[in-house]
Amino acid sequence: MKINPDMLHKYASGQCSEDEKLLVEKWLESDSWDSIEEQEVVAEEVGKSIWHGVSEQTVATRRISWAKITAAAAVLFILGFSFLHFRQETLDSLSFANESLGETKFFVRENYDVLLGGNSNVKIDLVNNKLLFSGDFILKPKCDFKLLDADQNTLVFKAGREYFVSDSPDFGKIVAFQKSDLAFLPSSMQIKIREQFQSI
């Protein structure tokens, strides 16, 4: 079975079978650099959608389609309103520990997922917005929040992103790098982070 746009549509809308879900997740986690098997179909759509954004930047004289912008804004407003209306936030204060030296531990919670590095512990207090930890962890927030670390620095976490958080003196201070920022670190640092957190 190969990955195709239909399957990704189904995955995005939660309609995949377990087998398909596994296959898509494997594809997403793989080191594949090209896009989807059915290049033409996706390329067509991608080209169309991206063209709009790019041409606004590069071609000076293009008319703005207010009808489409209004439609898009309306859809986004309804989506946003639904999120705010139906979401019931329960703020909590939780502690996690991983005493093993090398292996990571994964915790799934309501407001975030935590992948805790070896010999690390963390207390995430969403009630008082405080973060106490030692070691390293990957944080995947499911909602936006800000936490004050032990050095009284405010760390901002946004839903849907991945953060590498570490108090290693090798970085100079407590760091919460977004996944993309890790690409700017020296290669040996990147390799060591990848060795510890395979999923990054």
Partner 1 sequence: MRRVVLLLYFISIFLFSCQQPTERNVDPNFVLCLFNKDESPTSFLLVESLDEDKSSTAVQIPLSTSRIREREYIQKHGFFYRLSNRNNVFTKYQIQGSSLVLVDSLQLNNSNFETFSWIDDEHLVAVSREDVQEKKSQARVYQIDVKSMKIVRQDTIILPYATDEFWALHVGLVHVDKDDLWLAYSFFKSKGKYGHTTSDTTYYATLDYRSFQLKNIQKETRSTYPGGFNIIQSYSFEDEKGDYYFMTNPGIALGNNIKLPTAIFRKMKGQSLVDEAFMIDISAAVGNHAYGLWYVGEGKAIIRNEQKELYTDFSNHHSVYQFEYRLVDLASGKIEKIPFPLDKGTQKENVWSDKKYIYAAIDDANDDHRVWKYNLQTKEVTKGIKLPSSTNYTVRLDYLK
Which residues contact partner 1 by CB under 8 A?
8-9, 11-12, 28-35, 39-40, 42-43, 45-55, 57-60, 68, 71-72, 75, 136, 140, 159-162, 166, 168-173, 175, 177-194, 200
Indicate if the alpha-carbon torsion angle 36, 38, 44, 48 is positive or negative: negative
Report the nearest approach of partner 1 to the CB of residue 187 (Å). Answer: 4
Cβ at position 127, least distance to partner 1 in Å: 25
* Smaller CB separation from partner 1, 41 or 93: 41
Tokens 């997403």 belong to residue = 28
> H or E stretch including 156?
strand 154-157
Q: Which amino acid is at 106?
A: F
Q: Which is nearer to partner 1, 35 or 93 (CB)?
A: 35
Least distance in angstroms from the C-beta of 188 to partner 1: 5
Q: How many residues does the chain have?
A: 200
Nearer to partner 1, 93 or 106 (CB): 106
- 24 burial (CB, 10 Å; 0-12 / 13-18 / 19+) is middle
